[in-house]
Amino acid sequence: MFNFNYYTPTQVVFGKDTVEQVGDLVKKYGGTRVLVHFGGQSAVKSGLIDRVKASLDAAGIFHVELGGVVPNPHLSKVYEGIALAKENNIDFLLPVGGGSVIDSAKAIAYALYEPEEDVWDLYGHTRQSMGSFPLGAVVTIAAAGSEMSDSSVITNEKTGEKRGYNSDICRPKFAIMDPSLTLTLPDYQTMSGCVDIMMHTMERYFTKGGNMELTDELAEGLMRTVKKYAEILHKDPENYDARAEIMWANSLSHNGLTGCGNGGNDFASHRLEHEMGGMFDVTHGAGLAAVWPSWARYVYKEIPERFVRFAEKVMGVERTEGMSDEDVILKGISSMEDFYRSIDMPTNMRELGIEPTEEQILEMANGCARATGGKVGSAKVLYEEDMAAIYRMAI
Ligand code: NZQ
Ligand code: ZN
C-alpha cells in the first residue's frame, strides 16, 4: 500500500429538487455576483436555468448568464466568459451542465484569479496556477465527474489541441446532484457517460504497483454497479433510482476515492482519447469505449493478475477447466466489448464513426506524446510508437 493524499472539499447536495438550494449555497460560500454558465440548449429548454435564476434572486444574489458551451469546450468561450466576468465584477462561478460546462467555468475561475496571465498556459503546462475564484456546480449529466474532480479539459479549437490541467485549487465548493435533471438526456449521452464513469475507476485500477484491498473492493463494486445500472437505463431511461446510482458513482469514480493507496494512475486511454476528441470532436465516453479494448490487449501482459481479477470480479468471467490466466484475461476484455455493444457503444474507431489515416494516427500519437511529456501510463509506460500502435489496433 502506498501513501496517498485524499482531498474532497466539495459539499454534495443530492436528490430531487435540490436545485432550489443553489442561492443559499452560493451565499454560504461567499458568492455575491455570479456568472451562470451553461451549454447549448438543454438547460434552458428544461426550465433549469430559470429555476437557478429564481433561487439566486430569492437569495438576493446578482447574476449574469453565459451559455453556448459546446462538448469538448472551446477556449474562445472561456475567453468570452473571462471578459464578461471582469465587466460584471463576478466573484463566483456557477456552471449548470456537464463536464464541458464545469471545465469551462474552472478555466474562467483560474483566469480571474490571475487576470494578467493567459489561462491557456496552464493547459500547455508552461506555468502552475496560483489560485482560482470559487465555483459551485449544478450537474445535469453523470459522466465526467468534474463536479468533484481536480481536473479541467479545454480544447483550443484553432489548433485542435485538447488539453487538461489538474489542480486541487479548482475543486468546486459544492455540487448539486439531482438525478431527475438527467432524465432529458439522449441515450447516447447517458451511455457515453456510463463508459466514462467506469473508465475513471479503471484508469486507477489498472496500475502497476501495490494495491489496497479496500480500495480494490470499492473500485470493483463501483464498476459492477455502473455496468448493472447502465444496462437498466439503456432499457428503462425513466428509472430514477438507476439514474441516482449512476450519478453518485459518477462523482465517487473521479474524486480520488477509487485510487487511494494504489500508487498512481494510468490514464493512458484518456490521453489517447483526448487526441481523438481534439481532432474529430467525438463524444468523450464513446471515444474511450473505442480505444480501451485495444489498449487492454496491448498492455495486459504487464499486469496479468489485475486483468484476471477484473475479469472474474467485475465482468463475472467464470474459469472453466483448462482455461489459462490468459484465456480468462482475454475473455474479460471481450466481455467488456460485449457490454459496450449491449448499450450501443463502439468497440473501435470505425464503430465510433471515424477512420483516421496513417498520417492522422501519427499526428495524434505525436500530440499525445507532446501533451504527456513523451510518455504516459502505469500498467505499461507508453511512448509515441506505442500510442500509434494502439490507434492502429483500434481502427
Ligand atoms: O449543451 P447542451 O444542450 O446542454 O447539451 C449537452 C451536450 O450536448 C448534453 N446534456 C447535458 N446535460 C443534459 C444534456 N442533454 C439533455 N439533458 C441534460 N440534462 O450532453 C452533451 C454532453 O455534455 P458534456 O458536458 O460535454 O458531457 P460530459 O459531462 O461528458 O463532459 C465531457 C467533457 O468533459 C471532459 C471531456 O474530455 C469532455 O471535454 N472531461 C472532464 C473531466 C474532468 N473535468 O474531471 C474528466 C473526464 O475524463 C473528461 O476528460
Ligand atoms: Zn473521462
Span 123-181, pLDDT tens digits: 999 999 999 999 999 999 999 999 999 999 999 999 999 999 999 999 999 999 999 99
Nearest protein Cα to ligand 1, atom 20: 189
Centre of ligand 1 to C-alpha 141, Å, is: 7
Decide whether any atom of ligand 1 lies within 6 Å of the 43 Cβ.
Answer: yes
Please state, in angstroms and rounded to a whole number, the distance separating the CA atoms of residues 377 and 231: 29
Centre of ligand 1 to C-alpha 195, Å, is: 13
Please state, in angstroms and rounded to a whole number, the distance separating the CA atoms of residues 209 and 137: 34
**pLDDT, average across residues 189-205:** 98
Neighbours of 320 (CB within 10 A): 9
Centre of ligand 1 to C-alpha 315, Å, is: 27
| 10 secondary structure, DSSP code | P
**pLDDT, average across residues 276-293:** 97
Centre of ligand 1 to C-alpha 182, Å, is: 11
Q: What's residue 106's pLDDT?
A: 98
Decide whether any atom of ligand 1 lies within 6 Å of the 100 Cβ.
Answer: yes
Give the predicted TM-score (pTM) of the model.
0.97
Confidence of residue 5 (pLDDT cuts 50, 70, 90): very high
Q: Which atom of ligand 1 is nearest to the CA of 254?
A: 45
**pLDDT, average across residues 355-374:** 97
Residue 79 cell numbers, joined: 475567453
Please report, as a single letter, which amino acid is at residue 9: P
Confidence of residue 193 (pLDDT cuts 50, 70, 90): very high
Please state, in angstroms and rounded to a whole number, the distance separating the CA atoms of residues 313 and 333: 13
Q: What's residue 10's pLDDT?
A: 98
Over residues 101-111, the pLDDT tens digits come to: 999 999 999 99
- What DSSP string describes 90-126? --EEEEEESHHHHHHHHHHHHHHHSTTS-THHHHTTS
Q: What's residue 1's pLDDT?
A: 81
Please state, in angstroms and rounded to a whole number, the distance separating the CA atoms of residues 287 and 275: 10
Residues in the chain: 395
Going 74 to 77 to 83 to 86, the CA torsion angle's sign is: negative
DSSP3 helix / strand / coil % (the chain, rounded to 5): 55, 10, 35
Closest by Cα among 328, 274, 276 to 300: 328
Q: What percent of the chain has pLDDT over 70?
A: 100
Instruction: Report whether 98 contacts 137 (CB < 8 A).
Output: no
Decide whether any atom of ligand 1 lies within 6 Å of the 288 Cβ.
Answer: no
**pLDDT, average across residues 294-305:** 97
* Ligand minimally distant from the alpha carbon of residue 291: 2
Centre of ligand 1 to C-alpha 143, Å, is: 7
Please state, in angstroms and rounded to a whole number, the distance separating the CA atoms of residues 128 and 105: 18
Confidence of residue 262 (pLDDT cuts 50, 70, 90): confident
Centre of ligand 2 to C-alpha 243, Å, is: 18
Decide whether any atom of ligand 1 lies within 6 Å of the 269 Cβ.
Answer: no
pLDDT higher than threshold 90 for residue 39: yes
Nearest protein Cα to ligand 1, atom 39: 72
Decide whether any atom of ligand 1 lies within 6 Å of the 139 Cβ.
Answer: no
163 three-class SS? strand
**Beta-carbon contacts of residue 164 (< 8 Å; ≥ 6 apart):** 123, 151, 152, 153, 154, 274
pLDDT higher than threshold 80 for residue 43: yes
**Angle at CA of residue 53, ends 48 and 55, nearest 5°:** 95
